[in-house]
Amino acid sequence: MAKDRKKINGVLRQAKTAYRNTAKDRLQAFWDIFDKEDDVLVVINADPDALASALAVKRLLRYRTRKVDIAHPNEIHRLNNVAMVERLKIPLERLGNVKTGDYTKIVMVDSQPSHLPCFDKLQIDAIIDHHPISGEWDVPFVDIRPDYGAVSTMMVEYLRAAGMKPSVALATALFYAIKVDTQDFEKKSLVADGIAFRYLFDIANRNLVRKFELTDLRKSELKYFNIALQELKYSKRRYYSHIGRVRSPDVLVIIADFLNHVGEIDWVFVSGVHNEKLVVIFRCDGYRKSAGKLANRTFGSLGSAGGHKEAARAEVPLKKLELGDREFTSDSLKRLIMRHI
């Protein structure tokens, strides 16, 4: 235990040292771990911030290493992310198809080794992240800044310290990533995030960013809106709607956000079934309410549940609901929530 604590304290000290240093110091320390003969693999759990940050690392290491590839373990299902990858032509490999032993250096951005079991097996040489430190590792370079809204902000600082103006494609990726991870600056962020965002504003293709933001529905998924409205139950300024089986839980989020636009509504609860799990999306205004706490009270003992004050999610295996031969309905959802609200 004492040994583990010592390792964690070492990682913390390393991260804090990187944080205190100037942007040029951090850049040089990062560059110092590579040489011209290195084949570098950038490992990410693919989302906009991770994708943009990986592209920035690729730019920083151009001409400094032999090659840089980007690999991810997760399926990219969300249409916004698919549009981003396709339109910006981001070169990606699936981690399972890559021989990690063929690479001399591995960089991890927007994540940490403890975040996924497949990451924990890798020998990492550099970590650049903005999530809280979640483990202990012996890594030559660590730059973790949990108060930053996006890793993309950190990468803008690296690029500017290197005197590298990002291409339109890279600037567009970084710009979109900062928008997503700060939720248009409605989530916790720093002045640094605003400075990076403003720097990218005149370089990025903002029309393309708008296209990413709007691309979140397949034509085949429009039917779920019809089901949601048909199954909609109203009670005491609350909407409840169970959609049934869905191709992706993302459509539940889109429908919940849509219903949350109704002015007279305080709470929205939208559920569906995916991979034999009941997925429930919670929405409210977050004023004297907490969607995260309600999600945990309602479903925490049955599965994973939690979130923020205004938005939360729960996922529960169907077998834990003890439904027998009965179908889950909007009324079932209402009864479950009413016990805890």
The total domain count for the chain is 2
Q: What is the pLDDT of residues 1-31, one digit of tens each?
A: 444 455 445 555 555 555 557 899 999 999 9
Place of tokens 């990468």: 155
- Mean pLDDT over 58-76 rounds to 96
Q: What is the pLDDT of residues 116-162, one digit of tens each?
A: 889 988 999 999 999 988 878 889 999 999 999 999 999 999 999 99
Q: Which H or E run includes 6?
A: helix 2-20
Give the structural domain span for 50: 2-214
Residue 101 to residues 40, 128, 275, Cα–Cα distance (Å):
11, 21, 34
State which of 185, 214, 243 marks the end of a domain.
214
Give the relative orientation of helices 23-31 and 48-60 as an angle to the nearest 10 degrees.
70
**76 and 193 assigned to the same domain:** yes
**CA dihedral sign of residues 223, 309, 297, 74:** positive
pLDDT at position 18: 54
pLDDT at 79 over 60: yes
**225 and 209 assigned to the same domain:** no
Q: For residues 124 and 122, what is the distance between their CA atoms, to the nearest angstrom?
A: 6
State which of 158, 182, 214 marks the end of a domain.
214
Taking the whole predicted model, whether its pTM rises above 0.75 is answered as no
State which of 182, 214, 246 marks the end of a domain.
214
- Mean pLDDT over 55-81 rounds to 95
Look over the chain and give the mean of its residue pLDDT values, rounded to a whole number. 91
Banded model confidence at residue 326, pLDDT cuts 50, 70, 90: confident
Query: What percentage of the chain exceeds 90 in pLDDT?
Result: 75
pLDDT at position 1: 47
pLDDT at 60 over 50: yes
pLDDT at 336 over 50: yes
Q: Find the CATH number of the domain harbouring 319.
A: 3.10.310.30
- Mean pLDDT over 90-104 rounds to 96
Residue 45 to residues 109, 134, 152, Cα–Cα distance (Å):
9, 16, 14
Take residue 140 and report the two structure tokens written for it. 């030559």
pLDDT at position 218: 83
Reduce the DSSP state of residue 285 to 3 states and report it: coil
Q: E strands of the chain, at which residues?
A: 39-43, 67-72, 93-94, 105-109, 126-129, 141-144, 233-235, 238-245, 267-274, 277-284, 304-307, 311-317
**205 and 263 assigned to the same domain:** no
Reduce the DSSP state of residue 151 to 3 states and report it: helix
pLDDT at position 201: 97
